[in-house]
Amino acid sequence: MTDAYIYDAVRTPRGKGRKDGSLHEVTPVRLAVTALQAIRDRNKLDTHLVDDVVLGCVMPIGEQGADIARTAAVVAGYAETVSGVQVNRFCASGLEATNMAAAQVMSGQSQAAIGGGVEIDVAGADGLRRRRLADRSGRRHPDVLRAAGHLGRPDRHQVRHEPRRRRRLCRRDRRSAPRRRGTPATSRSRSCR
């Protein structure tokens, strides 16, 4: 089996993402891009040699949704052949991503892989700011947006309110269903399953 070596380690800045925090203007993609660019520039890395970018992310929603690893690789200017995958292993996401990258190299699936983690939590999912995906020059990346497959407003609304609609139906069914003696109160109709 091939040995895997860690050639460099990069740490992104730490801070708070709320309004008065030092990172309130920074997106999760920008953090990941900064790390990927630093790895490339410090090591004079030819990005055509990198097969995969594996990033751990606990809450893959909002700005850090879709596939943040692939998005960051594209925005960082890596070769088009570099793939990306996002891993969610809760608090060990970054560690798991690094282990997966090493396993790819050790098994011979990859010549070189980058592993790490990225996360910005701003008061949970509802606190994530909505910004368009653009680099500092303001240039948009339509190939990343197309690949992300973002839901339109009506679809988001339907997905968000579907659990609430199901709960309402369950409560209505329980109240209107005639109960016979000896029937457990926990029996559910089809809409409650």
Long-range contacts, stretch 98-102, CB < 8 angstroms, 24+ apart: 98/54, 100/54, 101/4, 101/52, 101/54, 102/4, 102/6
- In this structure, of 2-6, 110-114, 130-134, the range with the lowest mean pLDDT score is 130-134
pLDDT for position 145: 43
Query: Per-residue pLDDT for 147 more than 60?
Result: no
What percent of the chain lies above the pLDDT cut of 70? 68
Alpha carbons 120 and 68: distance in angstroms, whole number: 12
Output the CATH code of domain 28-150.
3.40.47.10
pLDDT for position 133: 43
pLDDT for position 49: 96
pLDDT for position 168: 83
Domain ranges of the chain: 28-150, 154-192
pLDDT for position 72: 95
pLDDT for position 129: 40
Pairing state between β 52-56 and 83-87: parallel
Query: Per-residue pLDDT for 134 more than 50?
Result: no
First-residue to last-residue Cα distance in the chain: 48
Instruction: Name 75's Cβ contacts closer than 8 Å, sequence gap at least 6.
Output: 29, 33, 133, 135, 141, 144
Arithmetic mean of pLDDT over the chain: 78
